[in-house]
Structure 1
Amino acid sequence: MSLNVAGTGTAKPRVARAATRDRAGRVGRRRMRPEQRRSRIVAWIAVVVIGAFGFLPVYWLVATALTSDTQAFKIKPDLFPREITFSHFTKLARNEDLFHYMVNSVLVSVLTAVLSVFVSAYMAYSFSKFRYRGRKSLMNLVLASQMFPQALLLVTLYAVFSSLGLLNTYLALVLSFTTFTLPLCVWMMKGIFDTIPDALIEAAAIDGASRWRTLHTVVLPLAAPGLVASGLFAFVRSWNDFVFALTLTGSDKQTLPPGLVHTYLGEFQTAWPDLMAASFVVSIPVVAAFMILQRYLVGGLAAGAVKG
């Protein structure tokens, strides 16, 4: 009998607490003001609109790639493909030019990412941990370089590379892409170095470590998320460039964006389904790299945005 009484005694408070929570929830829902409801509805509408703005182009790309040529060139295209075909994807396996353009893109993007991270790490560390004459002016100069349109510098860079004999080379693309990715990488890395306490660097100096060793064995490992974020930004920026890759190099050194245009678009052809299929396939490496390094990217951007 005592066991039943004890069990009943413990069950009653649980039922009472559940009833209290239920009443509180109903009261909270009844107390929601009309302004709060309108703001919540507006927020959801904004989320839907932004999501549609981001995902509808991707859906249209995939839908066009799966559509036959006759359906793709209709005057009134269908929102959903009526006949799904994978023939445009199978053609990619027989396209040797596409593989050549992809190799060029990988080579140029990787070199640009490595060079951007290498240079920006030393520049940002100098701006963050050293005090010398002209430091703020150099920092503002690096930031001001982002104010000029990149296409405006194309003529100047073309003339410089032509005088140096660097046209139609990978080096011209790597240097031009690094020029545009470096300012943002420097400021991102500076924000991350600012979060590293100076006491940690002083402790390494007391232990006998040189400045060079302190940077490579203490500071850079702590700034790894920022290095990954900067490298990923430089990689994606060089992977997606069209104007400089089209102007500074010929057909044998061109990367994917101008290579796809030359392959599928022209005066006598407009192979939109084939172009969409190729665009979908070549975007997979970038998406995969972003998904793998996403936590480092978010950590690096967050660390660089807050000064400790």
Structure 2
Amino acid sequence: MTTTLDTPVLAGEEREARPRRRSPLDRERPAVRVAAWVTIIVFGGFALLPVYWMLATALTPDGKVFAYPPALFPADVTFEHFASLAGNSQLFDYLVNSAIVSGVTAVLSVIVSAYMAYSFSKYRYRGRRSLMYLVLSSQMFPQALLLVTLYAVFDAYDLLNTYTALVLSFTTFTLPLCVWMLKGFFDTIPDSLIEAARIDGASQLRIIHSVIVPLSVPGLVAAGLFAFVRGWNDFIFALTLAGPDKQTLPPGLANTYLGEAQTAWPELMAASLVVSLPVVIAFIALQRFLVGGITAGAVKG
């Protein structure tokens, strides 16, 4: 008596022996990778070329800065322009002013925008959507257009040439984007967490401080970093509203190295590179919070 047994292993081996047909996606993958790397290199070079040119200018001796044709790589390298920054005490004063104004602006913007964004995200009341778009529409006006009005208001309250004038003006223009950034982040937080906290007897402020804020650290860091960079890079308001003692780095560098008859380009490039390091270090240290805070509001959970 003989029996026959079907062996599925052989069938599987026959299937494996068959040549796998390549899909159009497989044939396109090498081309897609090459195109992606070319795009990254082109945009990376476009973004980093000005930084490299600043570094090359800062390392070039004064007599060869305006040589023609310009050299892509400086033949003679000098560090005297960076060394001269150490003896410039006024530059350190500008740096301290920028740190104070930018830091206070970041903290104030995060606090105010967090409460506003929570209201827009978790409350439903008449006029909420109109108020949201009204806050966003303030970004449509050129900031220089409002400078005359702000100058008159600060002059009437004797706030010119003070840190308060700079912090209030910077915070005014950073709030709209910070509010919308945090609203998108708060929208991803389930309402069930808030309801559970209410059932446990938590007040509204306790819910915000003990439930919402710990879950929103990436969004708060992203908003704070945006506000900090806004205060660090501003030129026109710091030049107009602050006197020589309270000026920040952008107008301070312009007043120090830019002149009517001559401009010290190597020293200006060296100083610009040095004062950019705090912002670069902040971005590197907080990049994971920054990416999470910006992208969290893009997809609702």
- The Cα shift of 1:172 comes to 0.8
Which one of the candidate residues 107, 113, 129 is aligned to 2:100? Answer: 107
One-letter identity of the residue aligned with 2:120: F
Q: What do residues 118-151 of structure 1 show as CA deviations (whole Å, max 9, x unaligned)? A: 0000000111111112111110101111111222
CA deviation map 1:177-236 (0-9, x unaligned): 111110000001111111111110111111111111111011111011100000000001
Q: Determine the structure 2 residue equivalent to 1:10.
A: none
- Establish whether residue 91 from structure 1 lines up as the match of residue 102 from structure 2: no
Aligned with residue 238 of structure 1, among 231, 234, 254: 231
Distance 1:229 1:205 in 2: 28
Q: CA, structure 1 residues 269+24, in 2 after alignment: closer, same or farther (shift >3 Å)?
A: farther
Output one character per residue of 1:274-293: Cα deviation in whole Å (capped at 9) or x when no partner.
00110010000000011001
Distance in structure 1 (CA, Å) of the matches to 2:61 and 2:162? 38
The aligned counterpart of 1:159 is: 152
TM-score (structure 2 length as normaliser): 0.89
After the TM superposition, which residues 37-56 of structure 1 pair with which residues of structure 2 at under 5 Å, given as runs?
A: 42-56=35-49
Q: 1:245 to 1:24 in 2, by over 3 A?
A: farther
Residue 135 of structure 2: aligned partner: 142
User: Which range moves more in the overlay, 128-137 or 38-47?
Assistant: 38-47
Following the alignment from structure 2 to structure 1, what is the Cα–Cα distance between the partners of residues 226 and 238?
17
> Which residue of 234, 239, 252 maps to 2:245?
252
Specify every segment of 5 or more residues in structure 2 that has no aligned partner in the other structure, as ranges: 1-12
Offset at residue 28 of structure 1 (A): 7.7
Distance in 2, Cα, partners of 1:76 & 1:243 = 34
Q: C-alpha distance in 1, partners of 2:49/2:203?
A: 54
The whole-number CA distance in structure 2 between the counterparts of 1:262 and 1:76 is 29
Give the residue type in structure 1 aligned to 2:231: S
For 1:290 and 1:37, locate their aligned partners in 2 and report how far apart those are by CA, in whole Å: 33
Matched, 1:187 2:180: yes
State the AA in 2 paired with 1:127. Answer: F
Aligned counterpart, 2:291:
298
Q: Equivalent of 1:32, from 27, 36, 50?
A: 27
Matched letter for residue 153 of structure 2? V
Distance 2:124 2:236 in 1: 39
Q: Deviations over 1:89-146 (max 9, x none)?
A: 1111100000000000000000000000000000001111111121111101011111
| CA–CA distance in structure 2, aligned partners of residues 60 and 69 of structure 1 | 15
* Structure 2: distance between partners of 1:288 and 1:106: 14
| Alignment-derived partner of residue 273 in structure 2 | 280
Q: For residue 167 of structure 1, give the secondary structure of its aligned residue in structure 2.
A: coil
Q: Name the Cα RMSD after superposition.
A: 2.3
Residue of structure 2 in register with 1:60 after alignment: 53
Q: Deviations over 1:8-52 (max 9, x none)?
A: xxxxxxxx9xxx9xx979x789x736xx77666554443332111
Specify the alignment match of 2:62 in structure 1.
Answer: 69
CA distance in 2, matches of 1:296, 1:39: 30
Matched, 1:263 2:249: no
